[in-house]
Structures are given as structure tokens and as C-alpha cells.
Copies of this chain bind each other. A is one copy, B any other.
């Protein structure tokens, strides 16, 4: 039996943990990852794609496991120099990582689309799985706080450590964006489409906001499997429970299922949330109850295997 073609929608750290298991549970060449670029930003004239890099570095075996992002054993010489010169350095850019951003920025300035840039980087780092940004167009997640301030995503997320109360989330540029080359094909041609356990509002939300992607998923609803990013009412990492109410959902696995109901046929909840299964089935979705807290690479791989083996 030929290994199945798998496509995954991914945010950052939570997604990367799962994807590390996925590429060990099947042939990585048959895996396509559609990544979030809503949190892209320009720092000191360098184009940074945090979610794409987390996924790429993780699959390359380079990621700093303690942080979940960046490259292990990286140094901060450039940043120290900048700080010494009086620049704001609240966004951590380490030296090897800066090399990636310099390459990306150079290619983008030469007119190479982000999808091709992302492909060059993953090939350069010997990653066998394909990684495609959701779009080559600029889409920027903006956070409006309850005090009425509009924050760029990284300001909200890193500078203010997602401590501000959020009133609204916008995806600037999404209305006129088009899916990057290969995105719609990857959804149409996959035997299994997996929504990684990423923040539904700020990681999966921007991907779904690109016109055409949600519609393509709806047409493949039976093939779409989503892993709940919420376990026992809380996110394992990040501000999901504070952001879900902004889109009218409570912080529960079943509420996330509700957000995905129109395009997702199977919803995976952690065994700790088994009691939620009934509510999700009432939404017209199939439920799988599995261990989803990926404390070891073995758990990630097992989770991926079970999803790939599901009838």
C-alpha cells in the first residue's frame, strides 16, 4: 500500500510537536504542511516568519527544545551589539536564526515569492516534508485590546506577553489574499487533512481567513481531522483560553469543535476530555479520544499513527 498523502494546517510550537511525530509515522515526502504567516513581521529590516521557522527548525532537528523556537545553542552576539547601541530588542533574534532571516529577506527583495523562499529554506535544512505558507500575500494579524489599542501581533504576543485583554482580532490583508501555489491542491489531493493542535484564533484562524482555503476544506470534510488544542479547559501553551471568547467560543474542546464544524469531519479530544465526546457528536462530527498531551516524541508519533490508521 502506498503511504497516504497527508496535509496539515499548522501554527507554531504545538503544531511542530505533532508534526515531528507525523513525519515519523509516515513517509515525510508525502506530508505537506500549510503554515500560518499572520504572525510574520519585519524587525530591523529583516523579514521574520516565526511559525514557518518553528516548524522548519523542528523538522530539521535544529530547534531549541527548551524554548520551542529558535535554533539550539544559538548565540545573541548581534542582539547584544544592538542593545549596546541603544536599540529595542524585545524580539529575540539570535545569530544563526538571523542568517535565516537575512536569506529570506534577500530573496524576497529579489522578487522571489515567500512560498519559494520557504521551500529553499526547508530544502537547505534537509527537511523532507513540504512546507507552504498559507499565502504569498501579506496577511498580518492585528490585536485590538479592550483599551482600544491596536497591536501588531508580535507586540501583543512577545512584547506584552499576551497579558492584555483582547477585544478583537483582525487579519489585515486577508480579504484580498490568495492561497499560495500548492495550498488548494494539497487540500484536494490529500487522503488525510490534519488541523494541528494550534491556537484556533491566531494560528489556524489566519489560514482559514485566506479566501478559498476554508471552502476547499469543506469539500473534503470527511478527510479532515482536527486535534483539540484545548485540554481540560486550557491550552498547553499560549493564550487560547483568553482568545476563544473573542470569537464567541468558550475554552473547551467542544467549543473548538464548534468553530471547525463546517469543514471538519473528525475531532480528536484528549482522553481527559472524554466526557465532551457527546457534545461534539451532537455537532455532527465523529470523535476520537486519544492521548494528545505530547510530553514525549513517542506520544506525538503514536497520536499521528492513530489518526492515519483511522477508518
Contact = CB atoms under 8 A, between A and B. Distances in A.
Interface stretch (A76-84, A138-146, A186-194): A76-84
Interface stretch (A10-18, A97-105, A279-287): A97-105
Nearest to A121: B85
Contacts of A158: none
A99 B81 contact: yes
B77 A95 contact: yes
Contact of A45 (B84, B102, B125): B102
Q: How many copies of this chain does one complex carry?
A: 2
Query: Chain A interface residue count: which class?
Result: 20 to 34
A72 interface: no
A78 B106 contact: no
A310 interface: no
B85 A100 contact: yes
Contacts of A1: none
Contacts of A45: 45-46, 102, 105-106, 109
Interface of A: 44-46, 71, 74-75, 77-82, 84-87, 94-100, 102-103, 105-106, 109, 120-121, 124-125
Given A77-B95, A78-B102, A82-B103, 10 more contacts: A44-B103, A44-B106, A45-B106, A46-B102, A75-B95, A80-B96, A81-B98, A84-B124, A85-B99, A85-B124
